[in-house]
Amino acid sequence: MKTKIDTPETQAPQDRAIVYVRPVPVDELPEEVRRQVGGLENLYALHAETGERLALVKNRSLAFALARQNDMAPVNVH
């Protein structure tokens, strides 16, 4: 028996929530966050379609992995 099961990996991107990934200069972040990032110049933010910031992560690869692990379709924003 071959039954197709939709998983996040097999769903078309349009069937998943879009999340926007963009670099954020550390110097634009609150002091409390800047103290925690060490020597990094940029972090990567994940934003919902509404503009709400969902997460800040260390690098772009991690941002895309986090989005996919949460059944979202990441889109790069410059």
Instruction: Report strand pairing: 72-76 vs 42-47.
Output: unpaired
DSSP element (H, E) containing 71:
none
Instruction: Tell me the C-alpha distance between 14 and 11, whole Å.
Output: 8
What burial letters (b/e) apply to 22-55, b meaning 16+ CB within 10 Å?
Answer: beeebeebeeeeeeeeeeeebbbbbbeeeeeeeb
| Whole-structure pTM value | 0.77
Instruction: Tell me the C-alpha distance between 44 and 55, whole Å.
Output: 8
14-27 per-position pLDDT tens digit: 567 999 999 999 99
* pLDDT of 32 above 60: yes
